[in-house]
């Protein structure tokens, strides 16, 4: 299994903001106070949208404690801190955490590992796509167990890639899925490709897991980031 933690340690050290949102304006050499404010604003916009969606479908949870798994520099965690009593950001990249702590409000803390804490809201956006699924499924199982009864979920996973992402690797390929072990072409069998660090998950396994952990009612939003298709799943654990 590829050591993706080493990739993120390097990215967090060198280009923490660009590592989160790959826009040249967020490179260390280019970032201005205005661009930084824009960066934080993307987080507020996203989290307000997610909270709105969860509240509309599953009811209020505004005084919750929240966990942002794969928090990066805290783009989303800070926004969660504005909505919740307390927010925790968890990341394996030391450089990301240094930057996150530099901008941390009083009710937001950043950690590299958890004890036995549980939470009222689990959020993870554009993170599992970078973790080999064999490891990702285990991590997700643990995280879902940490959601308190009645707690909320906003979880992004990637599922497949289309030709706009793949054709530079394999000119005849139109759509496929990379789970870290095997590349499966949806059009015809092309064998293994390998070398890509944008992983795809199996939705059946994810739903089996969310269901086993008590999320019986989910809302699913389709995402497409440059040809990497996935979903954000919103739900609330049964009481
Ligand atoms: C693209 S960034 C997204 C950051 C944040 N979720 C956001 O949307 O602003 C992906 C983050 O996931 C973190 N990450 C990758 N693998 C991880 C793991 N196994 N455990 C925790 N964090 C991880 C990386 O260090 C990086 O900060």
Domain ranges of the chain: 4-236
Computed over every residue of the chain, the mean pLDDT equals: 90
pLDDT band at 128 (very low <50, low <70, confident <90, very high): very high
Share of the chain above pLDDT 70, in %: 90
- Using CA atoms, how far apart are residues 195 and 197, in angstroms rounded to an integer? 7
Selected residue with higher pLDDT from 177 and 214: 214
CB within 8 Å of 27: residues ≥ 6 apart: 15, 17, 18
Tell me: pLDDT of 195 over 50. Answer: no
Q: What kind of architecture, by CATH, is found in domain 4-236?
A: 3-Layer(aba) Sandwich (3.40)
Tell me: pLDDT of 159 over 50. Answer: yes
- Using CA atoms, how far apart are residues 108 and 123, in angstroms rounded to an integer? 14
Average of per-residue pLDDT across 34-47: 98
Our answer on whether the CB atom of 91 is closer than 6 Å to any ligand 1 atom is yes
Tell me which DSSP letter residue 235 carries: E
Q: How far is the CA of 31 from the centre of ligand 1 (A)?
A: 20
Selected residue with higher pLDDT from 4 and 205: 205
Average of per-residue pLDDT across 32-53: 97
pLDDT band at 191 (very low <50, low <70, confident <90, very high): very low
pLDDT at 187: 61
DSSP readout, 95-120?
HHHHHHHHT--TTEEEESS--S--EE
Q: Which of 74, 97, 130, 156 to mutate to test the pocket of ligand 1 (most atoms within 8 A of CB)?
A: 130
Tell me: pLDDT of 192 over 70. Answer: no
pLDDT band at 142 (very low <50, low <70, confident <90, very high): very high
- Using CA atoms, how far apart are residues 117 and 127, in angstroms rounded to an integer? 20
* Strand 108-111, strand 119-124: pairing: unpaired
Q: How far is the CA of 234 from the centre of ligand 1 (A)?
A: 19
Our answer on whether the CB atom of 70 is closer than 6 Å to any ligand 1 atom is yes
Please give the C-alpha separations between residue 125 and each of 75, 184, 223, in angstroms, as whole numbers. 11, 24, 11
Tell me: pLDDT of 184 over 60. Answer: yes
pLDDT at 233: 98
Our answer on whether the CB atom of 8 is closer than 6 Å to any ligand 1 atom is yes
Give the residue carrying structure tokens 């926004």: 79
pLDDT at 194: 26
SS (H, E, C) 142-203: HHHHCEEEEEEEEEEEEEEEEHHHHCCCCCCCCEEEECCCCEEECCCCCCCCCCCCCCCCCH
pLDDT at 176: 73
Q: Which of 1, 21, 127 to mutate to test the pocket of ligand 1 (most atoms within 8 A of CB)?
A: 127
Atom of ligand 1 nearest to the CA of 8: 25
């Amino acid at each position: 299994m590829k050591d993706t933690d080493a990739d993120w340690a390097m990215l967090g050290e060198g280009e923490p903001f660009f590592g989160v949102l790959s826009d040249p304006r967020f490179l260390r050499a280019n970032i201005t106070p205005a661009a930084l404010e824009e960066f934080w604003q993307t987080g507020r916009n996203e989290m307000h949208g997610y909270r709105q969606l969860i509240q509309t479908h599953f009811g209020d949870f505004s005084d919750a404690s929240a966990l942002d798994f794969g928090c990066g520099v805290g783009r989303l965690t800070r926004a969660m801190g504005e909505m919740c009593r307390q927010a925790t950001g968890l990341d394996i990249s030391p450089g990301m955490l240094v930057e996150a702590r530099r901008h941390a409000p009083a009710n937001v803390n950043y950690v590299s590992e958890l004890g036995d804490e549980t939470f009222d809201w689990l959020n993870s956006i554009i993170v599992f796509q970078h973790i080999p699924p064999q490891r990702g499924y285990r991590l997700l199982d643990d995280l879902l167990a940490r959601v308190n009864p009645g707690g909320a979920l906003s979880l992004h996973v990637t599922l497949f890639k289309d030709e706009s992402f793949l054709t530079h690797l394999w000119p005849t390929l139109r759509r496929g899925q990379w789970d870290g072990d095997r590349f499966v072409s949806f059009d015809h069998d092309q064998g293994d490709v390998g070398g890509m660090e944008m992983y795809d998950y199996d939705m059946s396994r994810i739903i089996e897991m969310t269901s086993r952990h008590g999320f019986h009612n989910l809302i699913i939003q389709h995402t497409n980031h440059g040809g990497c298709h996935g979903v954000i799943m919103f739900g609330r654990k049964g009481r």
